[in-house]
Amino acid sequence: MTLDEAIKLAENGNVDTMIALGDYYVGTGDTGDLRDALNWYKKACETAPDPIQYESHPRIAHAYAQSCSLMGMYLVAEKQVTGDLKACVDSIVEYYKYAAKLGYINKHRPELTAGMEERIYKSYVDASYWYAMYTFIIGDYVATKKLLIDTGSEDERIKLLFAQCIFGETDITVNLQGIFDFYNMVLPFASDEIYADKPKDRYEEGVYMANLQGLAEVVRLGVGYQGMIPSDERAYEILWFASTHMQLQSTKDIIDESLSHYKKGLFGSVKYKE
């Protein structure tokens, strides 16, 4: 069968050929063909009967998994081009819907996803994280926390974004339980060289920065746990660690400004906002 014949067959609704075309375009090694691959995988997912309610194509989970992988890749590129996560909301929501659907297929039709479990979970966690980041940026902390909790993940990014929600909702001079939770979640990151040196985009680094700033403020005030002694010196050490591990000049400048407050006798916390 020629490529033109395969395309015609797929356009007439043949799901097997749609998936095969997706595999073909992925296999060319040409990045320009990956968009065609994604389009065919998505068309297969949209055309095939719902695999939860009906007998569906045996490779439909493969089409969903490939769609998620390509959507995640294109989201990275789109964030870089636009420089604005809010401008990527349509891509984020679509990525999340496909990843959630794939997870649902994995739960209810595991015979369709055998051997793909780890890949499916990683896609779901990544898609959930970026959807949660979007809801966080627009100020919907309730939605953010639900998305993060639903992953059931111990991923560092998940923990830090959840912690920043707690900090954003908490008056650290009143809500002691909230700040205790924040302190315990973020404290390990004040000395975690491995996570500190992981590549991060500006959103991930912004949340990381804001959490360490918040932690320094909690330590300075001595409200991280009952009986905690306020410590300017320890707060300074946390900010110094943050400064030495920021990968973007913009976030390093913010941390360095906070460090300068200690020299001037001025204090204040900055919560991350886009």
Domain shared by 138 and 11, yes or no: yes
Residue 111: other Cβ atoms inside 10 A: 7
Mean pLDDT of the chain: 91
Domain count for the chain, please give it.
2
Percentage with pLDDT > 90 across the chain: 77
Amino acid identity of 185? M
The verdict on 166 and 239 lying in the same domain is: yes
Do 7 and 76 reside in the same domain of the chain?
A: yes
Task: Render pLDDT for 142-172 as a digit per residue (tens, 0 to 9).
Answer: 999 999 999 999 999 999 999 999 998 877 6
Does a structural domain hold residue 269?
Answer: no
Burial of residue 221 (number of CB atoms within 10 Å: 0-12, 13-18, 19+): middle
- Please report whether residue 271 resides in a domain: no
Single out the residue of 169, 269, 253 nearest to residue 220, CA to CA: 269
Give 61-78 pLDDT, tens digit per residue: 999 999 999 999 999 999
Q: How many residues does the chain have?
A: 274
Q: Pick from 119, 151, 183: which residue ends a domain?
A: 151
Residues 16 and 72 in one domain: yes
Q: Range of 50's domain? A: 3-151
Report how far residue 170's alpha carbon sits from residue 178's, in angstroms, rounded to the nearest whole number: 6
Same domain, 140 and 200: no
Does one domain contain both 96 and 223? no
> 233: pLDDT confidence band, cut at 50, 70 and 90?
confident
Query: pLDDT per residue over 118-130, tens digit each?
Result: 999 999 999 999 9
pTM: 0.90
